[in-house]
Amino acid sequence: MSQQGYVAAPPYSQSQPGIGRFGPPNSSIHYGHYGDPNSSYSTPQPGVSKSAVPFGSPPPVGPPPPGAHQFSQTSFQNGSGTPGQQPHRFQGPPPPSNTGPSYPPYSQQSQTAFPNTASASSTAQLADQFSSMQINSYVSCSGPATAPSSCVSPGNPAAFQGPRLPSPTQQQMGLPPGAQLPPPPANSVNGLCAQPALPPVARQGGIPGPVPPNPSLQQLPGQPPGPGYHPQQANYGPQMAASQLSYPGAFPGGPAQLSGPQQKKLDPDSIPSPIQVIENDKAARGGQVYATNTRGQVPPLVTTNCVIQDQGHASPRYIRCTSYCFPVTSDMAKQARIPLAAVIQPFAAVPPNETPLYLVNHGETGPIRCNRCKAYMCPFMQFIEGGRRYQCAFCNCINDVPPFFFQHLDHMGRRIDHYERPELSLGSYEYVATSDYCRDKKPPNPPAFIFMIDVSYRNIKSGLVKLICDELKTLLDKLPREEQEESSAIRVGFVTYNKVLHFFNVKSSLAQPQMMVVTDVAEVFVPLLDGFLVDFEESRSVVTNLLDQIPELFADTNESETIFAPVIQAGMEALKAAERAGRLFIFHSSLPTAEAPGKLKNRDDKKLLNTDKEKTLFQPQGNYEALAKNCVANGCCVNLFLFPNQYVDVASMGLVTMYTGGTLYKYNNFQLDADSPQFLSDLRKDVQKKMGFDATMRVRTSTGFRATDFFGAIYMNNTTDVEMAAVDCDKAVTVEFKHDDKLNEDTGALIQCAVLYTSMSGQRRIRIHNIGLNCSSQLADVYRTCETDALINFFAKSAFKAILSQPLKAVRDILMNQTAHMLACYKKNCASPAAVSQLILPDTMKVLPVYMNCLLKSCVLVGRPEIPTDERAFHRQLVMAMGVADTQLFFYPLLLPLHSLDLKSDAVPAAVRCSEERLSEGGAFLLANGLSMFLWLGASVSPELIQGLFNVPSFAHISTEATSLPDLNNPFSKKLKHILEQIQSQKPHTMKLMVVKQREQPEMLFRQFLVEDKGIYGGASYVDFLVCIHKEISQLLS
């Protein structure tokens, strides 16, 4: 049958309530077989049952039966080994078994019944099933479509070491009929599921063998339950009904621990590893050329470096899909509950070794489009009647080919000039637009950048204003321009403000800049047109003069109140008057409390956390939505650099930035010496970004489905047009599709994304991206072509949009519910029959649970008094605009062991899993998630490493104040600097480095990024979450 995923059917010996011991020695055992991963798959013939070993029977003796394969060492790929090597184990005790307060109960009403399952009442019987859930070891199993590998149904301490059978699609041993034991009593405290006691599986050449006693598992009385966990009182919530979901290590509460002896824990090396999945893909596809010449092919992961060659479908840099095969009917889609979506990053940066987009110019006639649906000419169009007409691939309308575009067809029915025209042979290209595509039918002016600086008391005294002015003197020479241009066509203007606005005339003919003050902030007007927006080259001396004068001009200010909305209004009015699109760069530091439109009050109320009103914290105050709408209508993009030292209401202040396609940067408690490198790096990157202005995006689809929902830093005026005042290389829009008819397996599902925009030189263009997906009536095909990274991008954005209107608890429930539904549908419809106690994950989704758990634990979805509301609103806003690569790193950070750097090669050391047990006292680790970067140093890290990095003799001498490493002339320091630059270069935000020493206070901050462990603000560990999701799946299927 279909390709198979992760399988686990371990023995679960029930621990009695409150006692951490294992059950009686004669408790039921599942025997496990391994199949040879290299053998070809043989699906069992109909009517032939899989062999089951009866209980108590001795292992068969004698030679293996014909057809049995010897087990090969490469099969167990789930630890941290590389292909072809025996995986090495990371030493260290398993994490403590802490069970936290329970996850808020499911609301049964909001739950859609799972198709073809028993009634809801029967699901209640599964409440206690957790206790009898079996989970011990997961190994990837895949069917004909993917690389074969074996499945484990792990054994008991006395493992079965008999003959091995040829591996079918999935090999599992279950209980023979009738041998099922009644489920033991639930091990629960106040309705909580205690962590099942599970023996780790020791491997002997890949075969489950006896488990060696682990001395580190015996916990001494009075000791904390494991490395780094402080003993805490368990705060169990009210008693819960049996059918409710217990989410171990829960939201609202924090890490808690069960009394009684420590229980043995599931071996973390035996559950699906994101690092292993990433490394396997790099090994299989890294460094190769990926040609986009086949409909519905699954691209390499975002973490894999390869060269992409456009051969008719858009590069995955521009479009990634949650599945590359859509189900043919909406009923199938509802059954699987896999969101059908595309993450579109229309201006994604392409590396120098890939071809930039071709620009097609048809002169006055403009782009060729279908008469009926207005789709643009692309490789999917079918030419007929000798090339005189073409059939639209999107709506099937027959169109005439314009005479200038006519060309004969070859014997295959393909145009002779197929490869000479980008719009016929490539997935992505651009058209020059005609005046019909311009505002008021006239070509646009080049864009403008307006720099707007808050000159209130604090910014002057901190040195920030001088820093900005000094930087702009050199930065304005680097304004972005088209490849072929000598200099940038972008105009620049300058405004300063506190309670009033100061506009500057920097006309090139002036000897000195002139300042004009606008005090009427309720009705902002622009006091000058000529001389406000200038060409920097022409006005260089006046502008430089101004930038020298600004810090002195306001040196004696004692004005501490600021305005904010009128600043945006003024910038927008200036662009509107000059008939230009453009960007405002606003440098602001406090809550705008001065009497003016957009005045904000502090509404940060911790009492709202975990109530139905918590969502109001994310909703904007005042008239910022109307202001954002006006900005978009006038092509005014707002970039905001915030320097707060207390609450500034990011949810309101950042709203205009988000709707207009701008970027928000935030530097808490900004200090000149420590934070200016990060800020200046962000500013330089931002000013120099390649981008499009005054953009409108439309997504067209072939018949049978359509785009229904759009998620991103965007504004929607109607249901089809995505409007963006600007769109840069880092911004992505996630589009969800729904069926409105049956799809066709032969023609597939086609998507065309068109972005109309103004280029940096002021040319109106249309950027086109086309992609074709397959369609299938087999659910297995849909699962086989899923991409977990794109799914998580979709779930994060849809959840972060939903929290504006729904309680956070409901949003978390929906995510949990949907994950369980997707995996239950796979087990029910695509996997070979298996016991209820087996957790089976599709190969393409085997790390979905770990990523989903990271999303559920993110600070946006976890309301805790310790997490500032502004921080949550900031993260929410950033994620809404992220592409797939950025969400992947944000939710599952990169953790590199630096002590194992190979100084002789250019290679970066292989990453390790984000868990405390991967850290070692003698190690140094680098952690990065796209916003933060930590250098963690173990207490006994080698003095050579310390000397090489910090130029100090010992661990005690290292200063944790440093935010960058000293420039040292030694191989180790140079290598690390190179790695830091490499990680940094691929991410939009500059990450400030924080040095963390083991067992010192700041380590708590670092620990919250070890996402496989229990969250320090609540949230389950990966292992606990798997147990939980398995319980949910079993409930859905029972």
Task: Judge whether residue 262 has pLDDT over 70.
Answer: no
pLDDT at 869 over 80: yes
For 19-48, what is the mean pLDDT? Answer: 36
Q: What's the pLDDT at 863?
A: 86
For residues 436 and 366, is the Cβ–Cβ distance under 8 A?
yes
pLDDT in tens, 732-786: 999 999 999 999 999 999 999 999 999 999 999 999 999 999 999 999 999 999 9
Work out the average pLDDT over 1027-1038.
Answer: 94
Cα 72 from Cα 35, distance rounded (Å):
9
Q: Give the contacts of 946 (CB within 8 A, at least 6 positions apart).
A: 937, 952, 953, 954, 955, 957, 958
Smallest CA-to-CA distance from 913 within 81, 6, 76 is with: 81
> Does residue 418 register a pLDDT over 60?
yes
Least confident of 183-187, 305-309, 507-511: 183-187
The pLDDT value given to residue 122: 32
- Name residue, tokens 């197929």: 418
Judge residue 183's burial from the number of C-beta atoms within 10 Å of its C-beta, 0-12 exposed, 13-18 middle, 19 or more buried. middle
Distance CA 909, CA 912 (A): 9
Average pLDDT over residues 477-490: 90
pLDDT over threshold 80, residue 348: yes
Phi, psi of 708, rounded to the nearest 5 degrees: -115, -35
Q: List pLDDT tens digits, range 505-528.
A: 999 999 999 999 999 999 999 998
Mean pLDDT value of segment 830-834: 90
How far CA 201 is from CA of 135, 212, 719, in Å, comes to 11, 9, 54
Pairing mode of beta strands 382-384, 389-391:
antiparallel
User: For residue range 612-650, what is the model confidence (pLDDT) as tens digits?
Assistant: 999 999 999 989 999 999 999 999 999 999 999 999 999
Q: How confident is the model at residue 900 (pLDDT cuts 50, 70, 90)?
A: confident
Residues 6 or more apart in contact with residue 873 via CB below 8 angstroms: 617, 618, 650, 651, 654
Beta-bridge mates of residue 639:
585
Nearest to 348 by CA among 958, 799, 1025, 883: 883
Neighbouring C-beta atoms of residue 558, cutoff 10 Å: 8
In this prediction, residue 90 carries a pLDDT of 36
Q: Which residue type is seen at 701?
A: T
- Please determine, for residue 871, whether its predicted confidence score (pLDDT) is greater than 90: yes
pLDDT at 675: 95
What percent of the chain shows pLDDT beyond 90?
68
Residue 1020 reports pLDDT greater than 50: yes
**What pLDDT does residue 858 have?**
95
Q: What is the pTM of this model?
A: 0.79
CB-CB contact of 1018 with 1007 (8 Å): no
Could you give the angle at the alpha carbon of 108 between the alpha carbons of 106 and 111, nearest 5°? Answer: 95
Helix residue ranges per DSSP H, 971-1021: 971-985, 1003-1007
The average pLDDT across 98-103 equals: 38
Is residue 515 within 8 Å of 504, Cβ to Cβ?
Answer: yes
Structure-block tokens of residue 846: 């085997």
Residue 129: pLDDT above 50?
Answer: no
Q: Which residues contact 944 (CB under 8 A, 6 or more apart)?
A: none
For 942-957, what is the mean pLDDT?
A: 92
User: 3-state SS of the chain: helix, strand, coil percent to 5?
Assistant: 25, 15, 55
Whole-angstrom distance, CA of residue 402 vs CA of residue 368: 8
Helices (runs of H) and strands (runs of E) counted in the chain = 22, 32
Mean pLDDT, rounded, for 94-109: 38
pLDDT at 833 exceeding the cut of 50: yes
Q: Which residue has the higher pLDDT, 548 or 49?
A: 548
Distance CA 540, CA 1024 (A): 62
The C-alpha atoms of residue 805 and residue 798 are separated, in whole angstroms, by: 12
Which contacts (CB < 8 Å, 24+ apart) does range 79-86 have?
Answer: 79/269, 79/270, 79/273, 79/276, 80/269, 80/273, 80/275, 80/276, 80/910, 80/912, 80/913, 82/279, 82/283, 82/910, 83/280, 83/283
What DSSP character marks residue 522?
S
Instruction: Give the pLDDT band of residue 963 (cuts 50, 70, 90).
Output: confident
Neighbours of 1008 (CB within 10 A): 17
Q: Which residues pair with 291 in a beta bridge?
A: 309
Q: How far apart are CA 327 and CA 340, in angstroms?
A: 9
- For residue 435, the tally of other CB atoms under 10 A from its CB is 13
Inter-axis angle of helices 1022-1037 and 808-829, to 10 degrees?
60
Q: List, as one string, the DSSP characters of 231-300.
A: P------S---TTSPP-SS-SSS-----SSSPPP---GGGS--HHHHHHHHHHHHTTSEEE--STTPPPP
Q: Going edge to edge, which strands form the sheet with 389-391?
A: 382-384, 389-391, 398-400
Predicted confidence at residue 264, as pLDDT, reads: 52
Per-residue CA distances from 390 to 147, 312, 370, 399 (Å): 41, 18, 9, 5
Residue 265 pLDDT grade (very low, low, confident, very high; cuts 50, 70, 90): low
Confidence of residue 20 (pLDDT cuts 50, 70, 90): very low
Q: Is 205 exposed, middle or buried, given 0-12, 13-18 or 19+ CB atoms closer than 10 A?
A: exposed
| Mean pLDDT for all residues in the chain | 80
Q: What does the alpha-carbon distance between residue 932 and residue 41 come to, in Å, rounded to a whole number?
A: 45
Token pair recorded at residue 407: 């060309």
For 513, phi then psi, to 5°, come to -65, 150
Over range 456-465, report the average pLDDT. Answer: 96
For residue 395, what are its two tokens?
């709506």
